[in-house]
């Protein structure tokens, strides 16, 4: 199946939307690759946390909660001030198929650092039959919380 790629840079505390929805919902996507790196790796000591959700987010936090069914991927990037030690860990729940928009959140958990973060995302396109389409859409609807 075709691979779609997305890349961008996010400021500390930002939320980005990647538009994936279609009128019919018959096109689904699976995350195949996620990479992150700071804008200036040699300048700062960031502790960057990028998360990808299947439902819209209103706040950005450093908390990673795998019991949150709308969380579909998380990336952690850490380095010391000299950039001699860089640690990057990415966790993707690759069996999840989504057919709606996805939402990226980024926070630099190192107080005062506030560096920008680059991301690279590969999504594999999957054709969904009517049943798969319904299941993927209902999962997203179920994960949307009631604002009241």
Convert the pLDDT of each residue in 113-147 to its tens digit.
668 899 999 999 988 777 666 666 666 556 655 44
At 113, list the tokens.
Answer: 């650092």
Q: Would you say the C-alpha torsion 6, 36, 82, 116 has a positive or negative sign? A: positive
Mean of the per-residue pLDDT values for the chain?
A: 82
Q: Are the C-beta atoms of residues 116 and 11 closer than 8 Å to each other?
A: yes
* Across 62-83, average pLDDT: 86
* Across 41-59, average pLDDT: 85
* Across 73-89, average pLDDT: 78
* Across 81-94, average pLDDT: 74
pTM of the model: 0.82
């Amino acid at each position: 199946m075709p691979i779609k790629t997305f890349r961008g840079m996010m400021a500390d505390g930002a939320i980005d939307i990647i538009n994936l929805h279609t009128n019919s919902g018959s096109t689904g996507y699976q995350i195949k690759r996620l990479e992150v790196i700071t804008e200036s790796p040699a300048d700062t000591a960031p502790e960057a946390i990028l998360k990808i959700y299947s439902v819209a987010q209103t706040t950005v936090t450093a908390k990673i909660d795998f019991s949150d069914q709308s969380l579909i991927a998380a990336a952690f990037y850490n380095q010391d001030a000299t950039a001699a030690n860089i640690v990057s860990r990415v966790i993707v729940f690759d069996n999840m198929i989504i057919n709606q928009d996805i939402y990226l959140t980024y926070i630099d958990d190192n107080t005062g650092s506030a560096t920008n973060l680059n991301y690279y995302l590969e999504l594999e396109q999957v054709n969904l039959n009517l049943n798969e389409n319904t299941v993927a859409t209902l999962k997203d609807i179920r994960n949307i919380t009631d604002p009241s």
